Structure 1
Amino acid sequence: MKIGILVTGHPPDDLRSEFGTYDGMFRTLLGGNGFTFETFNVVDGQFPDSTDAADGWVITGSRHGAYEDHAWIPPLEELIRAIRDKGQPLIGVCFGHQIIAQALGGKVEKFTGGWAVGRTDYDLDGQTVTLNAWHQDQVVALPDGARVTGTNDFCQNAMVAYGDTIWTVQAHPEYGDGFIKGLMDTRGKGLVPDELMQAATNRLPANDDNPKIGQFMAEFLKKERA
């Protein structure tokens, strides 16, 4: 099965040599499941010719807002709708979670409650999972037909399903501790409150459920559909 990775942002230059690119993080997270991958840097204007370029799709995170005026956002929204209409599996993470909701009729905005950073617990269909978060923007209104599968008090629409073919998550199962710490050191200073980053640093030694969610995502992409 071929997975197209739609890259919507790049890591800070200071972190790329150690941690790699966002598409590389997803190749690692989804590895061992028989997938082949092709990367499309949509943030740089590189789009697939059609939905036939892959069997399933993943949209990465980004430092950009889904509501911002960038030339690549409208064609990405068109591609999302085309993937949905074709019934192909699609997963969105952080910005990917947000842009899918926006493309299908929902609303994304900068959350007045502030940031979620580092280890964060979510209720996923009745089970607690712990993932690294890095966001202020949130999906504040869902499209018609969307179903919340994961939530917490801070982020009500943390994980969302659209029928049987689209699943999205606000947190980052592809981010390890080192990368989150690197984001705090590079992008966080002056942007995220110091006390929030310190609290996140104190929680980093705790376990996360990245492998569990990575396998959930892989099985979602691979499962047979009518």
Structure 2
Amino acid sequence: MTLRICILETDIIRPEFYEQFHSYGRMFKELFAKQPIPAEFEVFNVVHGDYPADTERYDAYLVTGSKSDSFGPDPWIQRLKDYLMQRYRNGDKLLGVCFGHQLLAILLGGTTERSDKGWGLGVHHYQMTETKSWMTPQVSDLKMLAVHQDQVTRLPENATLLASSEFCPYAAYSVGDQVLCFQGHPEFIHDFSQAVLDLRRPVFGETLYQRSVDTLRHEQQGVTVAEWMMRFVAEGKHPA
């Protein structure tokens, strides 16, 4: 059985990053190619207003990260919220990363805000608070690359907290067998994080920049998260 995943791309990569990294959708495709569950992907850039015509085609919808605020008033964000609510009410599986993690929390009754803790950058460590059947391989300490200053500050009432840290208490959550979200970026690699840190060094400030660069000595477990996502989508499905 090959899973069919619709990637809803919620940003456009900066021109100076295009040659090496191409797009966020492509980063996700390259990530999922490293995990063992067979899957195929189609990418639609919702900032440009691109959406799939066939909503029966996909096993899940993945909402990417974005430099935009998930609680922002942009028309494309409002359209995306309407679309995702339709998918949720239809029983479709939804995956969220960073902006997607935050947007789905808002959509399902939680709260996302600008964090008073400032920017989360580099490799972050999260403690797993739950063990689910689809979490193979299992880890107790999850390491993910992060770039965010907004955070989920209240989970939807029916959500289960999966991972947490002092800096980011709601780092991952699920809603039943339908929604799975992570604040960190499984699709990022160290080179991309370094490029972002270098580009925005004046914005982040020297102390935070140096501290964040130092964390890039640590490995990250994006491929593990990618496998969890695909196992989450596959769970309950019958082989084709």
| Cα distance per residue 1:1-36 (max 9 Å; x no partner) | 211000000222111210121111111111253212
- 1:96 paired with 2:109, answer no
1-structure distance, mates of 2:148, 2:43: 24
Distance between the aligned counterparts of 2:216 and 2:201, measured in 1?
18
Match of 1:145 in 2: 158
What is the percent sequence identity of the aligned residues? Answer: 30
Query: Which among 138, 149, 154 is matched to residue 136 of structure 1?
Result: 149
**SS of match in other structure, 1:105:** coil
| Partner residue in 2 for 1:114 | 118
Q: Please give the per-residue CA displacement for 1:141-167, whole angstroms capped at 9, x wherever unaligned.
A: 222211111100011111011111110
Distance 1:197 1:102 in 2: 30
Q: How far is 1:225 from its partner?
A: 5.4
Range with bigger deviation, 30-39 or 93-102: 30-39
1:4 lines up with 2:6 in the alignment: yes
1:203 aligns with 2:215: yes
Give a deviation string over 1:165-215, Cα, whole Å, max 9, x none. Answer: 1100000111010000111122x2332232111111112122111221111
Q: Partner of 1:178 in structure 2?
A: 191
1: CA distance, partners of 2:128 / 2:23: 27
CA distance, structure 1, for counterparts of residue 103 and residue 43 of structure 2: 18
- Is 1:20 aligned to residue 22 of structure 2? yes
Residue aligning to 1:161: 174
| Alignment deviations for residues 48-104 of structure 1 (CA, whole Å, 9 cap, x no partner) | 236324221111000000111211111211122222222222110000101111111
Which letter maps to 2:108?
Answer: L
DSSP 3-state at the match of 1:51: coil
Aligned equivalents of 1:148, 1:177: Cα separation in 2:
27
| Amino acid across the alignment from 1:205 | R
Compute the displacement of 1:106 (Å).
Answer: 1.6
Worse overlay, 215-224 or 163-172: 215-224
TM-score by length of 1: 0.94
- Find the counterpart in structure 2 of residue 216 from structure 1: 228
What CA RMSD, in Å, does the superposition of the two structures yield over aligned residues? 1.6
Contact 1:3 1:56 in 2 (8 A): yes
Q: Specify the code of the residue in structure 2 equivalent to 1:47.
A: Y
